[in-house]
């Protein structure tokens, strides 16, 4: 019995791990019934894998039996792998017992599609319902919405789950048709639209009537695979920007493609594109927290993000006319746009300059990365640099100059490029 459940856990954790979302934040579920768990406020990463990713939730598939044959997916029908399926009780028991020992924040449950979409979705919902009603579980539950599942089931799922997600995976319909012929964009976007409508509806209802049931209080998210198909960063980021704006998504996750099959339709990669994935995340952050529009980050002249420098620095170098920015007087929004200044140091600057004019020394102590920021600012009217440099020279000085050590990952990947080339 113990060995069987261990074997299932191995197979179904392995199958679920390529979904990168692991967030457990944004829930508002309080422990008000003297039950188990509390999911208000911030998320907690209880452990970290050896690849440095956070482990916050028990992330498993209910089953890896699947009727679909998507080329990029490890669980595809034609793949010759071990198959397994948990029972509903097994998933509930694992979740509760892991939670009680403080291993996890909750459950992230997805599934291969067996029989049909509704049949699968119904089982996912049943697990969430059992946890909430029979076990008074107030921990975090993230349910994957199965493409093609009925509106009714999605509505029910949202009553028990904190977050719902539908993975788009491929950033364009052409790629989806090519790599996942049984799926189509409509099947994915319809549930996403449903969830978005329900979220809005529940929000409106709760304004009028506080006890109205909450619908997925931590919102919805999706995932895009980077590097399994030909889309450039402009296409990917434009899609994300639209998703944030039109579907009210909390997060778009990006997963650098890890080769899981030898399919001629897929690129043959030596390593997952980790740096590109990182740059895309930085660009995503610029859109969500730094007030950037997608066309400021990538455009027709620069459709791909620079792998060597971060997208904010790249924007700064393309827009030197905006600078220098005077630290002691500029608006917060503009200070936030200075390469090397993050949200926290920008806030510190704006707060502290009310007491006394700030010097370069202060900025350093606030955690500003002067190596980058120094070319874009003045302090009390004085520039840290004695002359104006061109964008090309600033870039070179930041990357190689003044004995700076280059990002270890860049080095690693560049040397791999060299080896491959």
3-class SS of residue 258? coil
With respect to another protein, which residue has the nearer C-beta, 24 or 221? Answer: 24
| Complex with another protein: residue 260 or 320, whichever CB lies closer | 260
Asked whether the CA dihedral 40, 255, 337, 232 is positive or negative, the reply is negative
| Burial readout 186-213 (b: 16 or more C-beta within 10 A, e: otherwise) | ebbbbbbebbbebbeebeeeeeeeeeee
Residue 390 Cβ, how far from another protein at the closest point, in Å? 34
Name the token pair of 201: 């509806």
Please report, in angstroms and rounded to a whole number, the separation of the first and last CA atoms in the chain: 51
Nearer to another protein, 45 or 159 (CB): 45
Smallest distance from the beta carbon of 220 to another protein, in angstroms?
23
- Beta-sheet pairing, 220-226 with 377-378: unpaired
- Residue 274 class from Cβ within 10 Å (0-12 exposed, 13-18 middle, 19+ buried)? middle
Give the Cβ contact number of residue 95 at 10 Å. Answer: 27
CB of 210 to another protein, least distance (A): 21
Q: Which one, 59 or 250, has the nearer CB to another protein? A: 59
Considering the complex, state which of residue 125 and residue 379 has its C-beta at the smaller distance from another protein.
379
User: d(Cα 204, Cα 309) in Å, to the nearest integer?
Assistant: 43
CB of residue 402 to another protein, shortest distance in Å: 23
Shortest Cβ distance from residue 134 to another protein (Å)? 13
Q: How far is the CB of 59 from another protein (least distance, A)?
A: 7
Phi, psi of 155 (to 5 degrees): -65, -45
36 or 212: whose CB is closer to another protein? 36
On the CB side of 326, CA atoms within 13 Å amount to: 7
What is the nearest approach in angstroms of another protein to the Cβ of residue 85? Answer: 16
Do the Cβ atoms of 336 and 330 come closer than 8 Å? no
User: To the nearest whole angstrom, how small is the minimum distance from the Cβ of residue 109 to another protein?
Assistant: 14
**Smaller CB separation from another protein, 356 or 418:** 356
Binding site for another protein (CB under 8 A): 2, 5-6, 9-10, 13-14, 16-18, 30-31, 34-38, 40, 44-55, 58-59, 94, 97-98, 100-103, 136, 256, 258-259, 271-272, 274, 348, 351-352, 354-356, 358, 362, 365-366, 408
Q: Which residues neighbour 276 within 8 Å (Cβ) at sequence distance 6 or greater?
A: 226, 227, 233, 256, 305, 307
Of 125 and 341, the one with the shorter C-beta distance to another protein is 341
Whole-Å CA distances, 249 to 23, 71, 86, 246: 14, 26, 30, 8
Instruction: State which residue, 41 or 381, has the beta carbon closest to another protein.
Output: 41
The residue ranges of DSSP E strands in 249-333, in sequence order, are 251-256, 325-326
Minimum Å gap between C-beta 5 and another protein is 7
């Amino acid at each position: 019995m113990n060995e069987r459940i261990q074997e299932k856990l191995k197979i179904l954790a392995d199958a679920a791990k390529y979904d990168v979302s692991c967030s457990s934040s944004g829930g508002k579920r309080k422990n008000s019934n003297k039950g188990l768990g509390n999911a208000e406020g911030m998320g907690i990463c209880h452990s970290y894998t050896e690849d440095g990713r956070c482990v916050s939730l028990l992330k498993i598939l209910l089953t890896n039996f699947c009727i679909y044959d998507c080329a990029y997916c490890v669980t595809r029908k034609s793949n010759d792998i071990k198959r397994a399926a948990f029972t509903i009780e097994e998933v509930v028991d694992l979740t509760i017992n892991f939670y009680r020992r403080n291993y996890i924040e909750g459950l992230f449950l997805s599934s291969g599609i067996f029989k049909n979409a509704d049949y699968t979705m119904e089982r996912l919902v049943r697990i969430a319902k059992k946890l909430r009603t029979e076990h008074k579980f107030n921990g975090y539950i993230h349910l994957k919405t199965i493409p093609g599942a009925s509106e009714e089931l999605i509505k029910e799922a949202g009553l028990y789950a904190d977050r719902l997600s539908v993975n788009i995976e491929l950033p364009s319909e052409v790629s989806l048709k090519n790599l996942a012929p049984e799926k189509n964009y409509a099947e994915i976007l319809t549930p996403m639209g449903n969830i978005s409508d329900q979220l809005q509806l529940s929000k409106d209802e709760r304004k009028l009537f506080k006890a109205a049931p909450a619908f997925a209080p931590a919102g919805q998210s999706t995932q895009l695979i980077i590097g399994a198909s030909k889309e450039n960063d402009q296409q990917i980021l434009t899609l994300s920007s639209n998703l944030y704006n039109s579907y009210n998504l909390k997060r778009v996750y990006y997963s650098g493609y890890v080769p899981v099959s030898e399919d001629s339709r897929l690129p043959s990669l030596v390593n997952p594109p980790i740096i590109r994935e990182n740059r895309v995340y930085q660009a995503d952050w610029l859109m969500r927290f730094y007030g950037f529009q997608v066309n400021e980050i990538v455009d027709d002249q620069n459709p791909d993000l620079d792998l060597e420098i971060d997208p904010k620095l790249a924007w700064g170098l393309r827009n030197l006319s905006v600078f220098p920015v005077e630290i002691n007087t500029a608006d917060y929004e503009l200070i936030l746009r200075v390469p090397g200044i993050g949200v926290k140091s920008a806030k510190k600057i704006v707060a502290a300059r009310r007491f006394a004019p700030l010097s370069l020394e202060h900025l350093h102590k606030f955690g500003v990365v002067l190596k980058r920021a120094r070319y874009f600012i003045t302090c009390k009217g004085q520039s840290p640099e004695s002359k104006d440099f061109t964008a090309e020279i600033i870039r070179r000085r930041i990357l190689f100059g003044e004995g700076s050590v280059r990002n270890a990952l860049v080095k690693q990947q560049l040397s791999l490029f060299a080896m491959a080339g």
